Each structure stands twice: as C-alpha cells, then as structure tokens.
Amino acid sequence: MEQKTHYLYGMHSVMEALESNKKIEKVLFKQGLEGIQFRQLIERLQEKEIPVQFAPAEKLNSITNGNHQGVIAFISQVEYIPIEDMVENAMKKSAAPLFILLDGVSDVRNFGAIARSAECAGVAGIILPAKGGAAVNADAIKTSAGALLRIATSKAANLRVAIYYLIESGFQIVAADEKAKKSIYEIDFKKPTAIIMGSENKGISDSVLSLATDKARIPLLGAIGSLNVSVAASVVMFEAVRQKNV
C-alpha cells in the first residue's frame, strides 16, 4: 500500500487486504476483466458489501504504474465506529447531542465541507450510507480541513435501520426538506437530534424521508429557491448551535 495515496493494487494484495479486514472504501476493476481470481474477489467484495466500479485500463494506469492486474482498492483513512458506540459516547458527553445523517451526498467537496462545518458546530457524529455516498478519501479530508479525522464517523449498511436505532435511543429525526411546512426556527434542537441531508440532485429519498419525526425548511427570499447542500447543512447545524447557546 502506498501511504500517500492510500490504495493498493493486484489481485493477491487486494484479497489479502479483505481477509485481514482492512477498511476498503471501494475497488476499481478494469473493464472486461475475467478469470477465477476476479470472480472470487468479486464474490468476497459482495459479501462484505464493498462498492465496486469498472473503468478503462487507462484510468487504472493513471492511478499507478505498478502491475495492478486490473484491480485497485482504495483504503479508508478514517476509522469508522459502530452507530451503537457513537450514540453511547455522545450521550455521555451531552444531554442533547447532534448527528448529521447524509442520504446520498455524493460530491466529495460537499461532503468535506459538511464535515468541516459539523466539527465547528460540535456535531457528535456523521452517519453515512455504506453505498451511494461520497468516498471518504484524501480529497474529502483535505476539503474538511482535517475534520474527518476528528469527528466520529459511522457507515450504515442500511440508513433506515440506523434511523430506527436513533429513534429507539431517544433522538428526533429532522429532515431538511424545502417542501416542509415548518422552518428550522420552529424545531427544538435542545434535545437529541439527527439531521438528515439529502443528495445534491434528488434530495432525501422517500424511504428515508418517511422515517423522519419532523421536517423543516430553510426560509429563502431569493428567486433561486435552493442552497448548495453543504451550505444548507451549515445553516441547520448552526441554528442548533444558536438555540443551545441562548
């Protein structure tokens, strides 16, 4: 593994990483790759629910000039913790911890900016989907100004299950929804809260939105009618900060 870029390559190396439980963000395969080793590796990745992508050989060659054998695995730089531990730790430190739950935020820069604001706002943790979200890579860490190395982060195989657990643990689930009747200034953030932010294009998925215990919008006065997701997340988080400090 090359520490500067946080990836490793080659069939055997990637399989060894899987068997030793290294935290792999995703695996990139060369298009058209075949063979027994390839099929075995794909099966193990599917078992572990690790995302895979296929790309032309030129893409892999641009990442490394080593003998990658058509496979490159990107290693996580962030130590994920189980959501149960995240909740327990947060409740020990505060009677009203705040979490951010990202439903499909895919842009690395947006993700990093959200993490930076979250750390500044004293957010107790960030919950991400195991699939479909932005990669927690060097770019995300750089954009977050290192916040992703400081803030607790959890990856959920199923966001709905994570939300059910938060509700059972006494959290209100507030979905940031531009169609909501309430504004964020009508939400009581002085109790345990998880804020859901949706993807840049589609917003919060219906299946996740249906589990929200409350929905709130940011009042907007201009003609555009929407904010960048990282800006919107900051506005909501710092309304929570304001309420806790008045």
Q: Are residues 45 and 161 in the same domain?
A: no
Alpha-carbon dihedral 47, 49, 54, 58, rounded to 10 degrees: -100
Structure tokens at 206: 């219906």
**For residue 2, pLDDT beyond 50:** no
Report pLDDT digits (tens) over 161-201. 999 999 999 999 999 999 999 999 999 999 999 999 999 88
Write down how long the chain is: 246
Report pLDDT digits (tens) over 48-98. 888 899 999 999 999 988 899 999 998 877 888 999 999 999 999 999 999
Which of 24-28, 43-47, 192-196 is the most confident on average? 192-196
Q: Are residues 50 and 109 in the same domain?
A: no
Q: Are residues 125 and 54 in the same domain?
A: no
Q: Is residue 194 part of a domain?
A: yes
Q: Is residue 127 part of a domain?
A: yes
CATH of the domain at 156: 3.40.1280.10
Q: Are residues 139 and 226 in the same domain?
A: yes
Q: Are residues 144 and 30 in the same domain?
A: no
Q: What 8-state DSSP symbol labels residue 122?
A: T
Structure tokens at 212: 């929200």
User: Percentage of the chain surpassing pLDDT 70?
Assistant: 98
Q: Are residues 159 and 100 in the same domain?
A: yes
H or E stretch covering 166:
helix 159-168
Q: Is residue 2 part of a domain?
A: no
Q: Are residues 149 and 166 in the same domain?
A: yes
Mean pLDDT over all residues of the chain?
Answer: 92
Report pLDDT digits (tens) over 102-161. 999 999 999 999 999 999 999 999 999 988 888 787 788 889 998 998 999 999 989 999
Q: Which domain holds residue 110?
A: 83-244
Q: Are 63 and 27 in contact (CB under 8 A)?
A: no
Q: How many CB atoms lie within 10 A of CB 173?
A: 21
**Total of domains in the chain:** 2
Q: Is residue 1 part of a domain?
A: no
